[in-house]
A and B are shown apart, each in its own frame.
Chain A
């Protein structure tokens, strides 16, 4: 029983890591006023590039670096195009996610001859971190929470999300603050993507984010755009996710539950949690407003 429990907790920690990175990235960009439905796409992009570079070079470190860099770059592309084109963030995010769904298989076919995935990685090109990424994620939450409260960057990010005009008349360009936040958000989501393809998996598989970007977004909403409550929401989702994994192929009270039904568990848990509280009250005031 104890063994089972420890295995479960460890699995929750493993599954929580990508969710936490994505959620913290999303939290930064949303606090800066940039609604970030594109998290899912960023997870996929960075997972793909991390796996691609790791496959070419055989080096896990270079893969990690490529994943984070591609995340930051796609964060910049999303942030800059949304801000400069004065586009609706949700529509632009949808476009970004669609773009990723189309571009990755196209690149995959051109580079590896397979539109679905990258070649399987050997153990030297993967990262053996255990729960290292989870620990790093918790540390990140602490740092982020302090940074938002006590640094110039935090003050400006908060203002860009609440009242961009206040920044403008104080001589700070809120567009730059938002785009900067989008880059940081992309880099963090990128770290999450690396966990997916180099830590948990061995290479990129089609749609490997499996909705985690959206779960991260739900965690931010449930966490009222604050780091620690968001972390807790991520843990709850990860708990549902790893329960789902444990239950697959097992039977409860002698009734075997089919995999496809079990897979909906994290999403149902998310819906149940969202139903518990009103969302709009604590959202940043200027979210999804053009500058």
Chain B
């Protein structure tokens, strides 16, 4: 029944939106494979390596999901802020600082019981991430400085401060690598070997999915979520209805920072059990592509994160299996996805013109949708 009403509510505008996104993604894919071709690689071979590398075995799948876990959280972080009209490009820094705070707690309070350790670590990570995000929020509201600039500056500060904390304050003196001491075993999240085989996939994936569910509900069903989106979509209207856009923007930025702050949990609490320099590995930036590809909606973010996790895993195999290209091709793919989403207005215009009711295909589409509406599911 529910499915039927969903199908019935599809309108021409939704079809056009879907086509725009789909064609944009295809263009992005062609651009990347074209680049591979240009460099003298077989484009189909490249696509095959990526696909098998990502989903070819249960271990490969586990790795893909493991890479996806932080992306789910950073993607949601970026998406939530963007729906309120803020571009949080600082998720990388917030993730770094939040992650180090979680590890620091685990080192300082080694024998804490998991019942306390799990929520406490997440709380600390979230709070520190939110504090890091509060700086751009303050600049935005009080100084009118574009949040993107301040977020980027805060990223650089986070690299410096994070590096200092890892290399000097929390460093494991016995290790050759630039890494911290181990956290207490109470902070460890168990591996999910029944899904991921030999991969480092762990229970934080479930945490990330729960977070997605909570935020999907919060955004779609509650007044708070509605007000947040309202401020993003029509801030002057919201202000004139007695809602403070500034307050909502600050709240959104703090939420976004908190989500990014716990994004490192999969790497730090679930796998490494310590922090290494640069552990975030660009997840904050990939989160931008994830958020945009996911249409800024929580469920979309989940799907996009899994796709990009697979891309990241598959691209690693390019380092070994091809001569001329490397895992950096994944970054090119992400860039093209962001560009394609940025170009959605023009793609939308293109498809609207093609599917205008006055054209043959437009007439067919409308007739088909009308028929669906009358008889229910096709």
Contact = CB atoms under 8 A, between A and B. Distances in A.
Determine direct contact between A and B, CB below 8 Å: yes
Interface of A: 37, 81-82, 84-88, 90-92, 94-99, 101-103, 105-107, 109-110, 115, 211, 214, 217-218, 221, 258, 260-264, 267-268, 270-271, 274-275, 277-281, 290
Given A102-B331, A277-B143, A279-B146, A263 B339 contact: no
A43 to B, nearest CB: 14
B144 A95 contact: no
Contacts, number: 148
Contacts of A85: 342-343, 345-346
Nearest to A99: B335
Given A106-B329, A109-B326, A95 B153 contact: no
Interface string B68-95: 0000000000000000000101000000
Interface in B320-341: 324-326, 328-336, 338-339, 341
Q: Which of B150, B160, B329 is packed against the most chain A CB atoms within 10 Å?
A: B160
Closest 3 CB pairs of A and B: A102-B331, A280-B144, A264-B160
B156 interface: yes
Given A87-B345, A98-B289, A218 B335 contact: no
Nearest to B167: A260
A220 to B, nearest CB: 10
B292 interface: yes
B135 interface: yes
B120 interface: no
Contacts of A92: 339, 342
B299 interface: no
Contact of A99 (B161, B325, B336, B341): B336
Interface in B264-286: 285
Contact of B143 (A86, A96, A258, A275): A275
Given A211-B156, A214-B152, A102 B328 contact: yes
Given A94-B288, A260-B160, 18 more contacts: A87-B342, A88-B342, A90-B87, A101-B335, A106-B326, A106-B328, A110-B39, A110-B40, A211-B156, A214-B153, A260-B161, A260-B163, A260-B164, A260-B168, A270-B153, A271-B154, A274-B149, A280-B144
B346 A102 contact: no
A37 B156 contact: no
Interface residues of B, number: 49
Interface in B323-373: 324-326, 328-336, 338-339, 341-343, 345-346
Contact of A91 (B152, B324, B341): B341
A264 B157 contact: yes
10 contacts: A85-B345, A94-B288, A99-B335, A102-B328, A106-B35, A211-B156, A260-B167, A261-B164, A262-B160, A271-B153
Nearest to A268: B157
B148 interface: yes
Nearest to A109: B326
A105 B338 contact: no
Interface of B: 35, 39-40, 87, 89, 135, 139, 143-146, 148-150, 152-154, 156-157, 159-161, 163-164, 167-168, 285, 288-289, 292, 324-326, 328-336, 338-339, 341-343, 345-346
Given A91-B338, A221-B145, A279-B144, A258 B168 contact: yes
B328 A115 contact: yes
A52 to B, nearest CB: 15
A189 B261 CA distance: 34
Contact of B39 (A88, A102, A106, A271): A106
Contacts of A96: 335, 339
A95 B324 contact: no
B143 A279 contact: yes
A221 B148 CA distance: 12
A58 B139 CA distance: 47
B144 A263 contact: no
A290 B154 CA distance: 29
B346 A103 contact: no
Q: Which of A81, A102, A218, A263 is packed against the most chain B CB atoms within 10 Å?
A: A102
A49 B261 CA distance: 37
Nearest to B41: A110
Contacts of B331: 98-99, 101-102
A86 B342 CA distance: 8
A233 to B, nearest CB: 13
